[in-house]
């Protein structure tokens, strides 16, 4: 298929998981009613962003895959006839947890999953405490609406991840995200960070000739420890075309529910104009696997 109608859901979150999931269900139902075929949620959408603190009790939020959330969203996808990209705190085994995106097919089955590969560790983003780096590699997931190059949040800064998805035939790049301002930063620094975030992902679109869809959460979430002033998630979810053109960018402070058409076939034409894959010097890239070249 060439034309794909995508639904993105930029939401605020509360401490009530049931309330969050109910809100997702209502909004996904509305997006499907408006014609969305592929619906994408933000990172770790069932709960508040718990990684602001290192607390072993937060591991109780994790669940197996398959499990309660894949059952819930699988039934929702089946009932509405849509493909969904969801994001979960995965319990793989005792003491082994991942930040995992799951793709649900229209019939409610699991089409595939991706475990976040790049794990940050910064003030208010203590993800290394919770998540083991992914071990499934960078592989697009085949669905009835196309081959989805699903990555997660911090992965969006790495061109290698996007390239490997493109080299395996991804039709588009998708980034469920939870990123925002640390409120003690100056307004100027905050804007530099948000602009860099958008720019680097639009660069992945250009370099690979693929659309990019990024869905972020929005709203303020306090730091339970009181060590920081909390995170103001900057929203700004966006859809960019294969030349980096912005089709849409959401508000930086409000919830949004959007349906947008993307012409997946246009990527073929863009790659004919700009044949970056043809001109890659793959014979000279061996050092890319080194940590640093002294």
Active site residues: 43, 116, 153
Q: Residues 233, 178: contact at Cβ < 8 Å?
A: yes
Torsion over CA of 192, 198, 201 and 206, rounded to 10 degrees?
-110
CA distance 253 to 148: 28
Rounded to whole angstroms, the Cα distance separating 28 from 33 reads: 8
Residue 81 and residue 238: Cα distance in Å, rounded? 24
Residues 6+ apart with CB under 8 A from 55: 224
CA dihedral over 129, 134, 140, 141, signed as positive or negative: negative
Contacts of 205 (CB under 8 A, 6+ apart): 173, 211, 212, 240, 241, 242, 243, 244
H helices present in the chain, as ranges: 17-33, 68-80, 159-167, 187-208, 266-273, 276-279
Q: Is the dihedral of CA 59, 88, 10, 192 positive or negative?
A: positive
């Amino acid at each position: 298929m060439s034309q794909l109608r995508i639904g993105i859901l930029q939401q605020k979150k509360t401490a009530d998981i049931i309330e969050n999931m109910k809100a997702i269900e209502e909004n996904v139902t509305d997006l499907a009613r408006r014609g969305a075929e592929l619906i994408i949620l933000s990172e770790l959408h069932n709960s508040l962003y718990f990684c602001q603190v290192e607390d072993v009790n937060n591991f109780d939020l994790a669940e197996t895959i398959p499990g309660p959330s894949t059952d819930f969203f699988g039934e929702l996808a089946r009932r509405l006839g849509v493909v969904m990209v969801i994001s979960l705190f995965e319990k793989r085994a005792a003491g082994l947890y991942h930040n995992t995106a799951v793709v649900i097919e229209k019939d409610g089955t699991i089409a595939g999953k991706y475990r976040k590969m790049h794990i940050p560790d910064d003030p208010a983003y203590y993800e290394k405490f919770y998540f083991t780096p992914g071990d499934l590699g960078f592989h697009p997931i085949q669905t009835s609406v196309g081959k989805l190059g699903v990555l997660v949040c911090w992965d969006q800064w790495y061109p290698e991840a996007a390239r490997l998805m493109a080299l395996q035939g991804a039709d588009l790049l998708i980034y469920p995200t939870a990123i925002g301002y640390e409120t003690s930063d100056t307004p100027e620094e905050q804007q530099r960070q948000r602009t860099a975030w958008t720019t680097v992902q639009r660069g992945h679109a250009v370099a690979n000739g693929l659309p990019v869809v990024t869905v972020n959460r929005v709203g303020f979430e306090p730091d339970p420890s009181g060590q920081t002033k909390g995170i103001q998630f900057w929203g700004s979810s966006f859809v960019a075309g294969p030349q980096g053109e912005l089709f849409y960018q959401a508000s930086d402070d409000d919830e949004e529910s959007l349906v947008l058409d993307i012409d997946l076939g246009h990527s073929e034409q863009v790659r004919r104009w700009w044949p970056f894959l043809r001109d890659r010097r793959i014979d000279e890239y061996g050092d890319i696997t080194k940590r640093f070249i002294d």
